[in-house]
Structure 1
Amino acid sequence: MEQVELPYQVRLEKFEGPLDLLLHLIRQNQINIYDIPIALIAQQYLDYLETMRSLNLAVAGEFLVMAATLLQIKSRMLLPVEERALDDEDGPDPREELVRRLLEYKQFKEAATELEDQSRRWRNVFTRPPEPLPAEEPEEYLAEDVSLFELVDALHDILARTPAATVMDIIPDHLTVRNQMNVIVERLEARESATFGELFEGPITRAMVIVTFLALLELIRLRIIRAYQAELFGTILISRTFTAMADVEDQVEES
């Protein structure tokens, strides 16, 4: 992906970390977590970091530490099994510690998700005298917010359909992240939600795609909008939160 130089930088402290990215890649490639092909995952991980860099995203140092860890494991995996077994400190399989961290993190994340789901269910529950139980119905799917990495995947699809920039392309003065934040919020005022793809409809350049994507990330970070899927593996939808319009303008001004 070509880089568009932008003075604006989106901070990612409220998005996912390096372990989330690894779990995303493992799920995306349908990989056995106990037998991770390090060469493949390390390359895809580095590709994601390059994408973030090209989008001018402020990547936390922990992402770079994990990149170095993956490259170290990859180099050790290239050694013969006999030589690896001589290293008593790290064990015969250099992936063991990484797998342990991933499994532990996955357990904590699933527990946190379960607690959040319970909180959603009980939020609007009010006690009253017991009544006959109604017929059991299938459990409603709770719309889940999509991850940063799922948004990046969706962005790749948009960019694949967008003509490559030419040397004559000029970024207009009004094409800024702040302006695009206002455009997205205004688009969502008169409707319940929009699909991710609808934000990039019409004649659009790659620079416009990237600036709009950065605006989307900033609005999510500020909790002005949310990106979610109404059904498992469904289309990514974008909707306003219940933030008052005055608060939206104040947050956009402060960002």
Structure 2
Amino acid sequence: VFEGPLDLLLHLIKINEIDISDIPVATITEQYLEYLDLLRALDINVAGDFLVMASTLMHIKSKMLLPKQEGDVEEIEDPRMEIVRPLMEYMQLREAAHELASRDILYRDVFKRGSETDGKRGVEEDINTAEVSLYELMDAFKKVMKRRYPGIVLRFRAETWSVKKKMVEIMKGLKGKEHFYFRDLFSGNTSISEMIATFLALLDLMKNGAITVFQDKVGGDIKLKTLKAEA
């Protein structure tokens, strides 16, 4: 569930519809720092890699603001290449990993079809659903919070709500249901702290492999369903 700083940058590039070779550093830096603030508000430990990337972005931003010297004859490399190169390399690695994973699923399902009558349905479900990243979940959560509490700064009081109890509540809510809409998780919540505890409970359940989140199509409603069979 918990993805790294390069994943966050790629997410920001995607939602802003930005050309990776022409990144508006000031805008991306501001949005990146907002996400770090949200991670801290959610009481999620921010790894050192995230802070290093934040420092790198601010350094590049400051270099972009420096005036060009008229006497400079040599062409100076675009400071943004410091993040563009690793982003391009990471994108290639991620695409290769997805390709290998899809081949593994195809290989597995070819051999399942001959012995399992419901194998075809499982393949169709994999094809017709889209994965949801941590940052897409955070975007969805921010939208819910802005509707309920516009202009409020997020602060989490851990002693007020038990994340473990919220995990139990979510699993009870999913019992006997094919899926549950993400937005409906917060319909009965009465405070900011309770909403944050609910969101943290969702992340823990995903991390433990108890539930998965998905979309019927990219950009569609986020849904969740259980993965583990009940005892």
- TM-score of Structure 1 vs Structure 2, range by shorter chain: 0.7 to 0.9
- 1:145 is displaced (CA, Å) by 2.6
Q: Is the 2:161–2:197 contact (alpha carbons within 8 Å) kept by the matching residues of 1?
A: yes
2:4 equivalent in structure 1: 17
Q: Is the 1:162–1:204 contact (alpha carbons within 8 Å) kept by the matching residues of 2?
A: no
Tell me the secondary structure at the aligned position of residue 125 of structure 1.
Answer: helix
Counterpart-to-counterpart distance in 1, 2:133 and 2:12: 12
- 1:228 is displaced (CA, Å) by 1.3
Q: Is the 2:21–2:84 contact (alpha carbons within 8 Å) kept by the matching residues of 1?
A: yes
Counting helix residues as a fraction of each chain, which structure ranks higher? Answer: 2
1:119-198 aligned within 5 A: 119-126=104-111, 141-163=127-149, 175-198=161-184
2:83 equivalent in structure 1: 98
Structure 1, unpaired ranges of 5+ = 1-13, 129-137, 247-255
The match for 1:204 among 190, 200, 217 is 190
Counterpart-to-counterpart distance in 1, 2:73 and 2:36: 33
2:117 equivalent in structure 1: none
Aligned AA (1:64): L
Counterpart-to-counterpart distance in 1, 2:158 and 2:137: 25
RMSD of the TM alignment (CA)? 2.8
Counterpart-to-counterpart distance in 1, 2:59 and 2:41: 25
Aligned AA (1:215): A
- 1:86 is displaced (CA, Å) by 8.1
Counterpart-to-counterpart distance in 2, 1:122 and 1:36: 39
Report percent identity of matched pairs.
44
TM-score, L = length of structure 1: 0.77
- 1:124 is displaced (CA, Å) by 2.0
1:237 equivalent in structure 2: 223
Greater mean alpha carbon deviation, residues 118-127 or residues 228-237: 118-127
1:115 equivalent in structure 2: 100
TM-score, L = length of structure 2: 0.84
Q: Deviations over 1:208-244 (max 9, x none)?
A: 1100000001111111111111212211111111x24
Q: Is the 1:21–1:149 contact (alpha carbons within 8 Å) kept by the matching residues of 2?
A: yes
Counterpart-to-counterpart distance in 1, 2:158 and 2:40: 22
The match for 2:211 among 212, 225, 240 is 225
Aligned length: 217
Q: Is the 1:145–1:226 contact (alpha carbons within 8 Å) kept by the matching residues of 2?
A: no
Give the 3 Å change call, closer, same or farther, for CA 180–111 of structure 1 in structure 2.
same
Tell me the secondary structure at the aligned position of residue 66 of structure 2.
Answer: coil
Aligned AA (1:181): M
Tell me the secondary structure at the aligned position of residue 227 of structure 1.
Answer: strand
The match for 1:74 among 24, 44, 61 is 61
Counterpart-to-counterpart distance in 1, 2:224 and 2:178: 9
User: Is 1:51 aligned with 2:32?
Assistant: no
The match for 2:20 among 33, 40, 52 is 33
Give the 3 Å change call, closer, same or farther, for CA 223–208 of structure 1 in structure 2.
same
- 1:114 is displaced (CA, Å) by 1.6
Counterpart-to-counterpart distance in 2, 1:235 and 1:117: 24
Structure 2, unpaired ranges of 5+ = 115-123
Q: Is the 1:225–1:238 contact (alpha carbons within 8 Å) kept by the matching residues of 2?
A: yes
